[in-house]
Structure 1
Amino acid sequence: MSARPSPGPPHPQPRPSTARLASADRAARVRFRRAVALMLMTLLLPGSAQLVAGDKRVGRIALRVWMALLATGLLTAVAVLIHRELVFTLAANVALLGVLRLLLVALALGWAALFVDAWRLGQPLSLQQRQRLAAVGLNGFLSFAVAGTLLFGAHLVAVQRDFIVTMFGTGDATGAHDGRFNVLLLGGDSGAGRWGLRPDSMTIASIDARTGRTVLIGLPRNMENFPFAAGSVMDKQFPHGFDCTGCYLNGVSTWAGDHTDLFPHSKAPGVDATIMAIEGITDLKINYWAMVNLEGFKGLVDAVGGVTLNVRQPIPVGGLGSDVTGYLKPGVRKLNGFQTLWFARARDGSDDYSRMARQKCVMGAMLQQISPQTAVANFEKIAKASSEMISTDLPRSEVDNFVSLALKAKSEPIATVSLVPPMIDTANPDMKVIRRAVDQAIEQSEHPDSDKSSHGKRKLKRQVVTGGSIGSRDNGYAANQSQNLATSC
């Protein structure tokens, strides 16, 4: 009979050796580094992770798409460096913007999918728990960072496309007249239910089509007894000029709005009639117009972070039929939208012509101070504010040309001439004097070295300030008659 083993404790299991533990740990670290490397490869070269460790067909497609995009981007960058205006042409092409938006969305989704696949190729289940969590966190961060950036880019492209579609027209472009583009800028009366019907301010921006050098020609809203462009609808209605009782230049728009049957094919009878008047007064052919809602102007100033202006006297906030609630303090100050609006339109204690001078100072300051960097950094705010405050017939095909001219104008002095007292009697304006003044202002702007007179400098020596503007009604305001607006403000 065989002996039975005596009962006792079980034999202890053999413990893994230190060498085996170290080997397993090294293997885990290698797998973790491999997983991280696959994700970083996907960040730098989308598709490369699949090419070395996964579906090579997917990897080749992704890499080819990525290389094609890089080549397109590089060629575009070189073309923009050679021809700077190209960037504005591309930014105003509605069809291209639509394609670019879809491309960015597709790229975001495709890249995120490649990150997820790279995580799968890293065999996360074979990693230690701590390494697995780190891999998940890194993959999630990279996926959301890349996809989020691309989707935000798609959003900005959509904003730009909507801005172009909403803001600009689809009409035909018109060529320069005598080498200049003449754009009528109208400040719309923003009274309830009627903004745009009665222009509160009227300025022609006459722009040299080659250099961007600009002359601002201001017209007073209270001008009377003026002619209309020969052969126009308004000329036929008023062959002897706008000589009815109480008929002022800013009332032309209202008159046309009451007689829309005379403008059967017009989308903006009031603006068209006003253009007929201004062409008759100045003998300039207007290319395009832009109507600015003065209340909405606040949003644009706020969108660019304010504008710096020289407040020469306390400027009332309020008035214009309501109580004055405060004053803008004197000094060189950065004003927000609300303050800039009142700087431009305050009339309490001053006159229309002082206000016209201040408005030109605002125009000049915004042109000089809004840099491309500011525009890019605040693009979405600017686009929203602009679409709410501006109506224009400038066609989309001309946006790139005018942006390029605006950039050129930043480095050039802005000249001004205003058809106001003491040069012009607004009740009985002399058309010959007006047209001669306009022609001289444009000639001096195009050939600044040919005129050696001290006319502009003489105005700057005045110490009198009226309504916040250098000068007076009887002697003229410097900003209304200047060869360099910046020095007159």
Structure 2
Amino acid sequence: MTKKKILISIGIIFGVIFLAVVAYGFYLYKSVSDTASEIHQPIDRTTERRENAVDIENQEPLSFLITGVDSRGETHSGRSDTIIVMTVNPNQQSIKMVSIPRDTRTEIIGRGTIEKINHAYAYGGVEMSMDTVENFLDIPVDHYVSINMEGFKGLVDAVGGVTVDNDFSFTQSGHTFNEGEIYLDGEQALAFSRMRYEDPRGDFGRNDRQRQIVEAMVQEAAHIGSITRVGEILNVVGGSVRTDLSLDEMWKIQSNYRDARHTVEQMQISGSGTTIDGIYYFEVPDEEVARVRDELREHLELG
């Protein structure tokens, strides 16, 4: 083969590779855009707890409400059995996560009743949940992410599974979880996150396991290797997740806040169980609410 033919062949090969890369890039962009549009559910609400909206470009600390809705299929109706408040401070390169027990007794904003906090989602969706959590903790809740817990196992599988540190051995839904560091696929992760009756800490232990899985998913999704599973991830996300964030906001947060994932602190709310009119509630003392509020407000750099 002559030198000219060799150069032409090499040129054709590089041309094909270039076109393939461009086509794949277009596919990824379109897939991401389509998924972002599917999961984007903006809400019409204002919070009195911030004078101005968070400036993402200048990396101001912000907060999220993460709710896990225990429903079937792609519906996002029902009670929020998982309620996690996450604050992100890129200046400190840290994240704080606190689970609010679903039986927590508090005022449901928008109804004027004193009930379990997870009822807010059933009554008024994510808007009422955000308003109720804001009132309970006296902090602004800037954005939300709602996850259908049935689709939750698909998300875990899509990122390649997660590794968590299990405090003690137990069995749940036909799965045995040994003490120590364990790997979980989606079905195992769902069972792991739901167990509470064998845990001496009850909902507290359950909440800790849920936070562990959320944190592990954040870490796995941030790895370059996860990009190879982007199609699967996007398919699952489209059917399982809803958020008020637009695609542009998600890109900016990923770019400006990603280093915060390196330090994740899991907080816990203390309280005690009580029964009122035959209904079980989790009561959180005012001083405990104040402690959590002050720590979160400091992390959000609020006065």
TM-score range, shorter chain: 0.7 to 0.9
From 163, 168, 172, the counterpart of 1:308: 163
Aligned Cα RMSD in Å?
3.2
Q: Which amino acid aligns with 2:290?
A: R
Q: Residue type matched to 1:420 in 2?
A: S
Residue 158 of structure 2 corresponds to residue 279 of structure 1: no
Shift of 1:292: 0.7
Aligned twin of 1:251: 119
Check 1:314–1:383 CA distance in 2 against 1; reply closer, same or farther (3 A cut): same
Aligned to 2:278: none
Query: Contact 2:35 / 2:238 at 8 angstroms: preserved in 1?
Result: yes
Tell me, what secondary structure is at the counterpart of 1:378? helix
User: SS where residue 183 of structure 1 aligns?
Assistant: strand
Deviation at 1:42, TM superposition (A): 4.7
Q: Judging changes above 3 Å, is the alpha-carbon distance between structure 1 residues 156 and 422 closer, same or farther for their aligned structure 2 residues?
A: same
CA distance in 2 between counterparts of 1:416 and 1:176 reads: 25
Note if 1:356 corresponds to 2:207.
yes
Where in structure 2 are the equivalents of 1:105-116 lying within 5 Å?
Answer: none
Distance 1:428 1:348 in 2: 19
| 1:395 maps onto 2:240 in alignment | no
Q: Which residue of 2 aligns with 1:184?
A: 65
* Structure 2 equivalent of residue 421 of structure 1: 271
Trace 1:50-449 onto structure 2 (pairs within 5 A).
Answer: 147-169=19-41, 174-175=53-54, 179-191=60-72, 195-226=76-107, 228=109, 234=110, 237-238=111-112, 242-243=113-114, 247-256=115-124, 270-318=125-173, 325-350=174-199, 351-412=202-263, 414-421=264-271, 427-440=282-295, 443=298
**Closer, same or farther: CA 180–435 of 1 in aligned 2, 3 Å:** farther
When normalised by structure 1's length, the TM-score is 0.52
1:290 and 1:165 map into 2 onto residues whose CA distance is 14
Indicate yes or no: 2:9 matched with 1:39. yes
Runs of at least 5 residues in structure 2 that lack an aligned partner in the other structure: 45-51, 276-280
Whole-angstrom CA distance in 1 between matches of 2:11 and 2:72: 60
CA displacement 1:151-190 (0-9 Å, x = unmatched) = 333322321221222233567993169x531110001112
199-208 or 153-162, which deviates more: 153-162
The 2-side partners of 1:435 and 1:424 are apart by 20
Quote how far apart the aligned CAs of 1:432 are.
Answer: 4.5
CA contact (8 A) 1:316 1:348 kept: no
Quick check: 1:343–1:358 contact (8 Å CA) kept in 2?
A: yes
Q: Deviations over 1:45-82 (max 9, x none)?
A: xxxxxxxxxxxxxxxxxxxxxxxxxxxxxxxxxxxxxx
Shift in Å, 1:436: 2.8
Shift of 1:442: 5.2
Give the SS at the match of 2:284: coil
The question of whether the paired residues in 2 share the 8 Å contact of 1:316 and 1:327 is answered with yes
Give the percent of matched residue pairs that are identical in Structure 1 and Structure 2. Answer: 20
Q: Which residue of 2 aligns with 1:95?
A: none
Quote the offset at 1:417 in angstroms.
2.4
* Amino acid paired to 2:164: L
Query: What letter matches 1:352 in structure 2?
Result: D
> What SS is found at the alignment partner of 2:163?
strand
Classify 1:40/1:146 alpha carbon distance in 2 versus 1 (closer, same or farther; 3 Å): same
TM-score (norm 2): 0.80
Q: Is the 8 A contact 1:300 1:337 kept in 2?
A: yes
Contact 2:88/2:96 (8 A) holds in 1: yes
Query: Separation in 1 of the partners of 2:223 and 2:161?
Result: 15
Q: List per-residue Cα deviations over 1:368-399 (Å, max 9, x = no partner).
A: 34433123222222222222221011123311
Partner of 2:47: none
What is the distance in 2 between the residues matched to 1:184 and 1:222? 17
8 A contact 2:61–2:300 mirrored in 1: no
Q: Which has the larger radius of gyration?
A: 1
Structure 2 counterpart of 1:342, one-letter code? A
Please give the per-residue CA displacement for 1:434-474, whole angstroms capped at 9, x wherever unaligned: 0233213554798xxxxxxxxxxxxxxxxxxxxxxxxxxxx
| Distance change in 2, residues 1:149/1:196 (3 Å) | same
Query: Is the contact between residue 184 and residue 288 of structure 1 (CA under 8 Å) also seen in structure 2?
Result: yes
Change (3 A) 1:151 1:209: closer
Letter in 2 for 1:421: G
Deviation at 1:327, TM superposition (A): 2.1
Q: In 2, are the aligned partners of 1:190 and 1:196 still within 8 Å (CA)? A: yes
CA distance in 2, matches of 1:275, 1:166: 21
Name structure 1 gaps, 5 residues minimum: 1-28, 45-110, 112-142, 229-233, 257-269, 319-324, 447-489
CA deviation after TM superposition for structure 1 residue 148, in Å: 4.2
CA spacing shift, 1:159–1:421, aligned 2, 3 Å? same
The structural deviation recorded for 1:342 is 1.3
The CA deviation string for residues 245-268 of structure 1, in whole angstroms up to 9 with x for no partner, is: xx3111122233xxxxxxxxxxxx
Structure 1 equivalent of residue 48 of structure 2: none
Higher relative contact order (CA 8 A, sep 6+): 2
1:366: how far off?
A: 2.6
Which is strand-richer, 1 or 2? Answer: 2
Q: Which runs of 4+ in 1 moved over 6 A?
A: 170-173
Contact 2:120 2:129 in 1 (8 A): yes
Offset at residue 209 of structure 1 (A):
5.0
Shift of 1:352: 1.4
Deviation at 1:194, TM superposition (A): 5.5
Say which SS state the counterpart of residue 327 (structure 1) adopts.
strand
Letter in 1 for 2:213: V
